[in-house]
Amino acid sequence: MPAGCILVVDDEERQREIYRDILEGEGYEAATAPSGEAALNLLAGRRFDLVITDLNLTGMSGVQLLGEILSADPTVAVVLITGYPSIQSAIEATKRGVYQYLEKPVDRDRLLEVVGSVFEHLAALKQNILGDSPATKAMVRMILKVAPTQHTVLILGESGTGKELVAREIHRHSPRSGAPFLAVNCAALTETLLESELFGHEKGAFTDAHQQKKGLFERAHHSTLFLDEIGDTSLALQAKILRALQEREIMRVGGTEAIKVDVRIIAATNRNLERLLKEGKFREDLYYRLKVIPIPCPPLRERRGDVEPLARHFLGRSEPAAGRRVEDISPAAIEALRAYDWPGNIRQLEWAIERAIVLGESNRVELRDLPPEILQPAAVASARPAAASPAPAAGLQPIIAEESWEAHEKAKIVEALDRTNWNITRAAQLLGMTFRTLQYRIEKYGLKRA
Ligand SMILES: Nc1ncnc2c1ncn2[C@@H]1O[C@H](COP(=O)(O)OP(=O)(O)OP(=O)(O)O)[C@@H](O)[C@H]1O
Ligand SMILES: [Mg+2]
């Protein structure tokens, strides 16, 4: 299998051939095109992982070609090569989503270094973000493309679709990866606490401010700050976040001095921001500022092809239950897993597999080991008139109690808290959630220690 498919675009034949020889010598599959127009023709017929194009082409320019390629398929990585570097065109190309910008002369080592990094990051991402559905592949390529830039990213998706995973991977594949990734769940803190958490405070700024404290924006200097559940922030705080993004400086609560910060922001939400905008609960200016690069995390029911690889991954990662190693999943169980709608998405699947391992009796996950709501796809489907109801898997047993996902999640959380004697850190580990997500859920469900 070739290491990857690359298209080289240059109007000088000799240059095209040089690049092609270097790439093929390293095991890549390479095709060439003499113009932007010819490149688009080739791209219409087949997929390339990477396009390397000269900036100055006769006819369509490299930047125009970049725009055309990315509007047709935003997942292709594009590298631009130029002999006449201009800051203006570099900015333009970066805005349009160029993967990297190379200055001529590009020698063999430099070319292979850049190409190698594209495919290395791609391979590493595929190890952490599983699934071969087109939706997941598109997500991975999008991460690969935005990671090296400084752009603010907005990750959108339902609960449990992998938003935090995506945010962490963007950081890990960015030039900032040497510094720690910092995260805050905006929904988990009161407005005042969140403000001081984000921006810090001066000594005496409020009653409990016994000492000066640096906020996350300062601590994330030269790193990435993940603003999770940004849709749950107040309008006043949104204004302050916007200011930090625009001015690249912040002021501690109670402070008088602006502090310069170089922070890359990744935000996420499971809320419908457009609706919040209409309801006047989210600032339009912040919304447009954030959504320059949106990355959708599609719900699992829209990428059913990922269900089996994910289920097998969670199975392979699990501890043996009572000395029994569960190594396989029965075809009927796979069928039921694929047919189910997964309101809690990948996290729910992860728990369903864990539960099946504990409850099962053989070394294979059987249909009967799956949670009741999964065995009743018809009930879920009838609640959704638009969706065609999937054929029930063979061998289904009637189950009386219909457990909703929320009830199931709540029960899981209570169980984990009981098991850990309300140690939230350990319970979060058991649940595979971050501390703050669990904190937020405890609040959402109004759970209290008995
Ligand atoms: N493509 C994937 N491959 C492997 N694991 C995944 C994938 N997507 C998500 N996961 C796992 O699913 C779980 C939930 O993901 P994550 O916490 O990132 O979701 P989220 O969208 O942030 O959820 P929430 O809205 O509840 O905060 C995590 O354990 C994560 O590692
Ligand atoms: Mg999350």
Q: Is the pLDDT of residue 401 over 50?
A: no
**Minimum-distance ligand to the CA of 345?**
1
Distances (CA, A) of 323 to 25, 358, 361, 365, 369: 50, 11, 11, 15, 17
155, amino acid identity: I
> What is the reported pLDDT for 398?
32
> What is the reported pLDDT for 404?
56
Q: Is the pLDDT of residue 376 over 80?
A: no
- pLDDT band with cut points at 50, 70 and 90 for residue 248: very high
Interval between CA 166 and ligand 2 midpoint (Å): 10
Q: Which is the closest atom of ligand 1 to the Cα of 131?
A: 1
- pLDDT band with cut points at 50, 70 and 90 for residue 405: low
Residues surrounding ion ligand 2 at CB below 5 Å: 164
Q: Which is the closest atom of ligand 1 to the Cα of 130?
A: 3
Interval between CA 1 and ligand 2 midpoint (Å): 36
> What is the reported pLDDT for 396?
37
Yes or no: say if 428 and 435 are a contact pair by the CB < 8 Å rule.
yes
> What is the reported pLDDT for 377?
52
What is the DSSP pairing of strand 153-157 with strand 223-228? unpaired
Choose the weakest-confidence range: 64-68, 235-239, 385-389.
Answer: 385-389
Q: Please list the helix, strand and coil fractions of the chain in percent, rounded to the nearest 5, in that order.
A: 50, 15, 35
Q: Which is the closest atom of ligand 1 to the Cα of 437?
A: 27
Residues with CB under 6 A from ligand 1: 129-131, 136, 157, 159-165, 270, 297, 310, 346-347, 350, 432, 437
Mean pLDDT score, 47-70: 91
What is the average pLDDT score of the chain? 87
* Ligand 1 pocket mutation, candidates 166, 308, 346, 430, criterion most atoms within 8 A of CB: 346
Q: pLDDT tens-digit profile of 88-114?
A: 776 677 667 788 888 888 999 999 999
> What is the reported pLDDT for 262?
95
What distance in Å separates the CA atoms of residue 185 and residue 14, rounded to the nearest whole number?
Answer: 54
Mean pLDDT score, 83-87: 70
* Ligand 1 pocket mutation, candidates 130, 142, 161, criterion most atoms within 8 A of CB: 161
In the chain the domains, ranked by start, together with CATH numbers, are 5-128 (3.40.50.2300), 141-298 (3.40.50.300), 301-401 (1.10.8.60), 408-444 (1.10.10)
Choose the weakest-confidence range: 26-40, 143-157, 339-353, 395-409.
Answer: 395-409
**Minimum-distance ligand to the CA of 143?**
1
Q: Is the pLDDT of residue 385 over 60?
A: no
Interval between CA 444 and ligand 1 midpoint (Å): 19
Nearest C-alpha neighbor of 264 from the set 282, 250, 248: 248
